[in-house]
């Protein structure tokens, strides 16, 4: 790396994880890390900053996510999750028309027009049923770790309908299914379909189009992606950096705003 290179930092503080991405002035990712959130957004931010290699000097930084309001005075810029996921995904996959992001505590769908601008978006941050945390709790109930669930093949499993879209009542239905010895795979597939359906019904308001991309922590859960693809009637792309798209977008935002000045 040349000494003249500028480095931009993006931080995404979610309810479950904190993410950091550094890019150079060619928009190349040169460092990234994901950690579990600690006691507060400020402490999560501090822990992420500590991980930056000493030889990398930051030109400007931006924060997004669940903890941005608590930490925006610690960075040069702050931006919404909608903006950052849009910037991150479009940088990596410029062909994408719809972004589906399901995180620990909320979910969002972003549609993009032909001029590569945000056309519309929908967001659910009021109900946990349909998020990563909800799935974590439910998997504990049926005896799966989230890692086991992430790679579960449910393509031949017929789900049953979970009638409630409320976390508390959905949990009661799951407990009932466990007591009736409904197979683990069936309950897991049913929960994945419930999360997918909640997201799909929210997405319809935005008139989603293919190609679709899934970002956020839930993107690595194959059963959820399987049911989303069935509901949308289309392949949903993802990649190994899908959980970092918000932080990447924040770094790109910091670069963009710095260039404006």
Q: Between the CA of residue 5 and those of 11, 158, 172, 260, what are the distances in Å?
A: 20, 54, 55, 18
Cis, peptide link before residue 186, omega less than 30° from 0: no
Q: Give the pLDDT confidence of 129-162 residue by residue, as tens digits.
A: 667 888 988 898 898 998 999 999 999 999 988 8
Confidence of residue 114 (pLDDT cuts 50, 70, 90): confident
- CA dihedral sign, ordered 86, 88, 90, 93: negative
Domains of the chain from N-terminus onward: 7-93+243-260 (3.30.420.40), 98-238 (3.30.420.40)
**Backbone dihedral angles phi then psi of residue 234, each to the nearest 5 degrees:** -155, 150
What is the mean pLDDT of the segment spanning 80-93?
A: 96
For residue 8, the cross-strand partners are 23, 60
> Residue 121's pLDDT is what?
96
What is the mean pLDDT of the segment spanning 174-191?
A: 92
> Residue 127's pLDDT is what?
62
Q: Give the pLDDT confidence of 190-222 residue by residue, as tens digits.
A: 999 999 998 999 999 999 999 999 998 899 999
Q: Say if CB 99 and CB 215 are below 8 A apart.
A: yes
Q: Exposed, middle or buried, 72 (CB in 10 Å: 0-12/13-18/19+)?
A: middle
Give me the helix-helix angle, 222-232 and 184-203, nearest 10°. Answer: 50
Confidence of residue 88 (pLDDT cuts 50, 70, 90): very high
Q: Whose CA is closest to 59, among 244, 247, 249, 259? A: 259
Neighbouring residues of 105: CB distance < 8 A, sequence distance ≥ 6: 14, 15, 16, 66, 125, 128, 131, 132, 133
- Cα–Cα dist 150/168, whole Å: 23
Confidence of residue 103 (pLDDT cuts 50, 70, 90): confident
Please state the pTM of the whole predicted model.
0.91
Q: Give the pLDDT confidence of 217-243 residue by residue, as tens digits.
A: 899 999 999 999 999 999 999 999 999
Confidence of residue 3 (pLDDT cuts 50, 70, 90): very low
What is the mean pLDDT of the segment spanning 160-173?
A: 78
Q: Between the CA of residue 228 and those of 101, 114, 194, 212, 237, what are the distances in Å?
A: 12, 24, 10, 10, 11
> Residue 81's pLDDT is what?
94
Q: Give the pLDDT confidence of 11-21 residue by residue, as tens digits.
A: 999 988 999 99
Q: Give the pLDDT confidence of 19-53 residue by residue, as tens digits.
A: 999 999 999 999 999 999 988 999 999 999 999 99
């Amino acid at each position: 790396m040349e000494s003249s290179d500028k480095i931009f930092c993006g931080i995404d503080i979610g309810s479950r994880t904190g993410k950091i991405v550094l890019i150079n002035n060619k928009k190349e990712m040169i460092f990234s890390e994901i950690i579990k959130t600690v006691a507060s957004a400020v402490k999560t931010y501090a822990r992420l900053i500590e991980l930056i290699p000493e030889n990398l000097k930051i030109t400007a930084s931006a924060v997004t996510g669940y903890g941005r309001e608590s930490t925006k005075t610690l960075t040069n810029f702050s931006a919404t999750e909608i903006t950052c996921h849009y910037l991150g995904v479009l940088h990596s996959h410029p062909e994408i028309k719809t972004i589906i992001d399901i995180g620990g505590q909320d979910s969002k769908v972003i549609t993009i027009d032909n001029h590569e601008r945000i056309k519309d978006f929908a967001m659910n941050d009021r109900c946990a049923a349909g998020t990563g945390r909800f799935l974590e709790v439910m998997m504990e109930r049926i005896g799966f770790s989230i890692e086991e669930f992430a790679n579960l093949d449910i393509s031949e499993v017929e789900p049953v309908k979970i009638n409630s879209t409320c976390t508390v009542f959905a949990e009661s239905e799951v407990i009932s299914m466990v007591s009736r010895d409904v197979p683990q795979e069936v309950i897991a597939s049913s929960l994945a379909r419930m999360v997918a359906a909640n997201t799909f019904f929210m997405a319809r308001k935005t008139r989603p189009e293919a190609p679709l991309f899934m970002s956020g922590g839930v993107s690595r859960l194959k059963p959820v992606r399987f049911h989303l693809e069935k509901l949308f009637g289309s392949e949903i792309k993802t990649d190994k950096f899908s959980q970092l798209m918000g932080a990447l977008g924040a770094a790109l935002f910091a670069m963009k705003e710095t260039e404006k000045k």
